Amino acid sequence: MGRLARHAAARPERSAGTFLRHVRSRKTATAAVLAAVLLATRLWVLEPMTVSSESMEPALPRGSMVLLYKPGPLLGGLRAGDLVVFSSPEDGRPTLKRAIAFQGQSVAIEDSVLIVDGKPQSEPGIDHSRIDGSYFGPVMVPAGHVFVLGDNRSGSIDSRAYGSVPLDQMQATVAWPSGG
């Protein structure tokens, strides 16, 4: 008897019903693994968020959808200009703002021009005609904190009102769109 014939004879024939149950079982297992991967991704890596205020206009109008990258702040990769999400010091709700300065830096606004460490900052996404004549600071960002501002400076409650936000309260960075 040939090798294939011995192998076939050693294993009992599967009925069509057994085969279909096996296929369904594999599909169910695959679907369960896929659902677990998607859930884990949403919980710990990426999550969609709808912008709920006008504070980031014109870059991100109210109703815009953004994709949050949750490990971003934990990986220590925050840079000036990044869009960040944290719990609002006022009401605890998730809040989206732009990271402007970090520990040890000074921040001021002089006639609507952002000044960090005494140097005017280029902010191409800011409509200066909407915020002409505003002044703030200077203030020093404390250790372990981030100074955040909304792009719509006249319509944003941000670090000018509640101070710098502790770095450990940063929950995510915006992965898409970049908003700037």
User: Is 87 tagged catalytic?
Assistant: no
Query: Which candidate in 55, 156, 159, 164 is catalytic?
Result: 55
Q: φ and ψ at 153, to 5 degrees? A: -55, -35
C-alpha 34: how far from chain center: 23
Query: Which candidate in 97, 112, 156, 159 is catalytic?
Result: 97
Judge contact between 72 and 55, C-beta under 8 A. Answer: no
Cα–Cα distances (Å) from 21 to 8, 14, 24, 53, 177, in that order, read 21, 11, 5, 51, 44
Give the sign of the dihedral formed by CA 74, CA 78, CA 82, CA 85.
positive
User: Is 122 tagged catalytic?
Assistant: no
The set of catalytic residues is 55, 97
